Structure 1
Amino acid sequence: MMTPFNPIPTARNAHLQTLLPRLLRRQPLFAPIWQAFDLPDGDFVDLAWTHHPEVGQPIIVLFHGLAGSFDSPYANGLLAAFKQQGWCGVVMHFRGCSGRLNRAPRTYHSGETEDARAFLTYLRQTYPNNEIAAVGVSLGGNMLVRYLADYQHDPIVSCGCAISPPLDLAACSTRIQQGFSRVYQAYLLRSMRQTLSEKLTRHQKVGRWHAGERPKIKTLFEFDQTVTAPLHGFDDAQHYYQSCSGLSVLDAITVPLAIIHAKDDPFMTDAVIPTSPLPANIDYQLSEHGGHVGFVTGSWRQPQFWLEQSVPHWLASRLCSSR
């Protein structure tokens, strides 16, 4: 079990918790080592390493959230915490999220596990003496849940952690269109529309959009309806949400997995909280406060990132080479 999360007493508000990491950490904590990793279909993803892995050193793979990257405060913060623990950390950027546009029209989504599988297979073959674990954040957390269920008989990773995963995609798509959460939606869409526009200068068609068009997408649902779903073989956004939500496949996971949620997450609703008994290998952590990938504790003078303390502590108790 993790130490319970207690927010800064005057910073319990969900939106404040969500925004504080970006306000407190404006620059990455370190400069990573970059590597381009070629995928089986001829495309590529970019990797950001803490350092080159040493023989026998655990490797912790981080899967970021929607429109995230190494520059996201949670990403470089967690990687720095992994390095401090004596491990090697690496962010596998999803296609087009590293600052370089990927080659194919194809992008990524909450249930796309093939790229993760290709990279994890590469790690197993290249570093056969290194134990591998994975951490997924937000969209990357749901993707990790789906990956562990899809590859339950050979997951490669020995344990994992999903932080603020949108385990019911339809409910989360509706929630982010309400109230102040629309601010987050607008922020995410700016980056996603820009990437889509750049793709349309290279490809004749991306999803339902054609070269020369200016995509006027106002909601994440519209993006999933016109880009994500048609690009990846789903009938529509609802089909994508139903097919890729992680909540229904938790029982299929066989390795130790921690799931961290906050009840006040402004990206989500109670629909993401499991109601059925979970298998013993899943450690479910539900906090009253924390926002979306926030979880800032301590004091205003000395704020602390609870995730950067709790996640490595939990992983250390599950990694064989850390015992």
Structure 2
Amino acid sequence: METTGTDVTISPYHLIFKGLALLPVSFYLFISFLVSLVFLYILLQFHIIHDIFNGYGSGYVSLTFDSSSVLYRQVVSNCHLLHGRYFSTPWLSSPHLQTILLNLLVKTHSFTYKRELFTTSDGGTIALDWLMNSNESRFQVNGDAKVVPIIILIPGLTSHSDTPYVKHVAYKMAEYGWNVVISNHRGLASVPLTSDCIYTPGWTEDIREVVNHLHCTHPEAPLFAIGTSIGANILVKYLGEDGVDVPIVGAASICNPWDLLMDDKFLGRGFMQRFYNRVLANSLKNLARMHRVVYARVVDWEGMEKACSVGEINKYTSRITGNFETVDAFHRSASSVYVVANVKVPLVCINAIDDPVCTYEAIPLDECRMNKNIVLATTQHGGHIAFFEGFSGENLWWVRVIEEYFSVLHSSSLINKTTGIIVVKERLT
């Protein structure tokens, strides 16, 4: 504290503020810009600085499998990408950025689908979209469906055959020579609901009937399957429920949430998780609104309209249609983690530790390690379904991984032709 000759007291805080006032406005704008950058860096979980200081020395794919697994010895050990490293696109070095921009940045091509409407046993209708040709004339698929291996693609929660990332996967697989069909969830892909059975994230009867249908109509073609996100949960749950009675010779699970109860809790934790939860809930509401007549008849419509999360949506829809007392009971019943031990089909699972939608805590490491039919691949980064690679960020790393895995599996001794039908020579347990 200072005093002048007239005994007027001047506060040191006054002097500080007076000094700060002398600083130019540009200085404060610069500081605000830096603070905002740090805030966004932390909020969006960027890891570019860590990667640079680490010299890009990490990124190795971690594999979990039974040490005596024939699948690993004969197939996965020959998959170079699974024994390599995954580096995310530098300017997309954030799980949130990868996830949010997935359908905006992923490269898509022009091609057409041939739609097959499949009627289920309950009278429901499912759109099976077959990839036919490309305007770029780089490939021709579905030429001889009797012998060309078929990949069945099961999309995520409300994704469908026209969703950009689904089109990217379909095109890339067809470019490698596979016959590709997208099995859309009922009510999606502009197909009306023709029964009172609505789509839920644990309903496996649709994919079961679709697979059996394709096996009957293409008896000489080996069937492979890819599930993404909720589609992966449905696929793995189906494989676990049916065990050896599955006419699929190879499968891939991408970003499976595994435990829907645990994931429901996870989506209520942080700011970004609550953001995803709201976005996913709104997409489910939009699906219900497209089929309001049916939904209003079989669910609690008013409750669903007020719901703000996926868990609440399930409480007023799937819980009711499935006759569960609580939504937690539904989530447990719908989770693939409880049947993964019974999977008998060669299965590769890919999950990112930093997945902002599906918690890594739900990944069944022990169950996968004890099942000789499964190899689990985890990466530190990748976001949800994304795994952008290269500087341009147009391509998804996991697509190349699964194509290599399917190719090696298809040419391995685990699959052999018997009386003209492709079968798995031995279920690995």
TM over 0.5: yes
Q: CA deviation at 1:203?
A: 5.9
Whole-Å Cα distance in 2 between the matches of residues 303 and 58 of structure 1? 26
Q: Which of these residues, 294, 300, 308, is aligned with residue 218 of structure 1?
A: 308
Find out whether 1:278 has 2:354 as its counterpart: no
The residue that corresponds to 2:347 in the other structure is 257
Higher deviation after alignment, 155-164 or 25-34: 25-34
Find out whether 1:64 has 2:155 as its counterpart: yes
The residue that corresponds to 2:56 in the other structure is none
Quick one: structure 1 residues 275 and 32, their matched pair in 2 at CA, closer, same or farther if it must change by over 3 Å? same
Indicate conservation of the 8 Å contact 1:25/1:73, yes or no: yes
- Structure 1 counterpart SS, 2:349: strand
Find out whether 1:234 has 2:310 as its counterpart: no
How does 1:202-217 map onto structure 2 within 5 Å?
202=294, 205-209=297-301, 215-217=305-307
Q: Which of these residues, 153, 157, 169, is aligned with residue 248 of structure 2?
A: 157
Indicate conservation of the 8 Å contact 2:280/2:309, yes or no: no
Whole-Å Cα distance in 1 between the matches of residues 275 and 107 of structure 2? 19
Q: CA deviation at 1:272?
A: 1.7
Higher deviation after alignment, 234-243 or 160-169: 234-243
Q: CA deviation at 1:166?
A: 0.6
Higher deviation after alignment, 178-187 or 29-38: 178-187
The residue that corresponds to 1:42 in the other structure is 123
Q: Which amino acid aligns with 1:218?
A: C
Whole-Å Cα distance in 2 between the matches of residues 97 and 28 of structure 1? 21
Find out whether 1:313 has 2:394 as its counterpart: no
Indicate conservation of the 8 Å contact 1:28/1:71, yes or no: no
Indicate conservation of the 8 Å contact 2:388/2:397, yes or no: yes
Q: CA deviation at 1:202?
A: 4.5
Unaligned runs of 5+ in 1: none
Indicate conservation of the 8 Å contact 1:29/1:77, yes or no: no
Q: TM-score, normalised by structure 1?
A: 0.92
Q: CA deviation at 1:27?
A: 5.6
The residue that corresponds to 2:257 in the other structure is 166
The residue that corresponds to 1:294 in the other structure is 386
The residue that corresponds to 2:90 in the other structure is 9
Whole-Å Cα distance in 2 between the matches of residues 171 and 13 of structure 1? 23
Indicate conservation of the 8 Å contact 2:304/2:316, yes or no: no
Indicate conservation of the 8 Å contact 2:348/2:374, yes or no: yes
Q: Which of these residues, 272, 293, 296, is aligned with residue 201 of structure 1?
A: 293
Whole-Å Cα distance in 1 between the matches of residues 264 and 184 of structure 2? 22
Indicate conservation of the 8 Å contact 2:212/2:247, yes or no: yes
Number of aligned residue pairs: 320
- Structure 1 counterpart SS, 2:253: strand
Q: CA deviation at 1:80?
A: 0.9
Q: Which of these residues, 217, 241, 244, is aligned with residue 334 of structure 2?
A: 244
Indicate conservation of the 8 Å contact 2:388/2:394, yes or no: yes
Indicate conservation of the 8 Å contact 1:171/1:268, yes or no: no
Q: CA deviation at 1:214?
A: 7.7
Q: CA deviation at 1:289?
A: 0.2
Higher percent of residues as helix = 2
Quick one: structure 1 residues 172 and 74, their matched pair in 2 at CA, closer, same or farther if it must change by over 3 Å? same
Find out whether 1:84 has 2:175 as its counterpart: yes
Whole-Å Cα distance in 1 between the matches of residues 304 and 320 of structure 2? 18
Give the 4+ runs in structure 1 shifted more than 6 A. Answer: none
How does 1:89-168 map onto structure 2 within 5 Å?
89-168=180-259
Q: CA deviation at 1:29?
A: 4.2
Higher deviation after alignment, 151-160 or 267-276: 267-276
RMSD, aligned CA: 2.2
Q: Which amino acid aligns with 2:271?
A: G
Quick one: structure 1 residues 32 and 267, their matched pair in 2 at CA, closer, same or farther if it must change by over 3 Å? same
Q: CA deviation at 1:28?
A: 5.7
- Structure 2 counterpart SS, 1:32: strand
- Structure 1 counterpart SS, 2:404: helix
Whole-Å Cα distance in 1 between the matches of residues 282 and 359 of structure 2? 24
Higher deviation after alignment, 253-262 or 226-235: 226-235
Higher deviation after alignment, 80-89 or 137-146: 80-89
Q: CA deviation at 1:17?
A: 1.6
Whole-Å Cα distance in 1 between the matches of residues 217 and 292 of structure 2? 36
The residue that corresponds to 1:19 in the other structure is 100
- Structure 1 counterpart SS, 2:271: coil
- Structure 2 counterpart SS, 1:261: strand
How many percent identity over aligned positions? 26
Q: Which amino acid aligns with 1:121?
A: N
Relative contact order higher in (CA < 8 Å, ≥ 6 apart) = 1
Indicate conservation of the 8 Å contact 2:354/2:360, yes or no: no
Whole-Å Cα distance in 2 between the matches of residues 130 and 64 of structure 1? 22
Find out whether 1:304 has 2:385 as its counterpart: no
Whole-Å Cα distance in 2 between the matches of residues 10 and 194 of structure 1? 32
Whole-Å Cα distance in 1 between the matches of residues 246 and 402 of structure 2? 20
Indicate conservation of the 8 Å contact 2:229/2:255, yes or no: yes
Q: Which amino acid aligns with 2:150?
A: I
Q: CA deviation at 1:14?
A: 0.7
- Structure 2 counterpart SS, 1:317: helix
Whole-Å Cα distance in 2 between the matches of residues 54 and 84 of structure 1? 15
Q: CA deviation at 1:313?
A: 0.8
Whole-Å Cα distance in 1 between the matches of residues 231 and 283 of structure 2? 17
Query: Deviations for 1:164-206, whole angstroms, at most 9, x for unmatched residues?
Result: 0010111211222331133322322223212323433356522
- Structure 2 counterpart SS, 1:121: helix
Q: Which amino acid aligns with 2:279?
A: Y
Find out whether 1:32 has 2:113 as its counterpart: yes
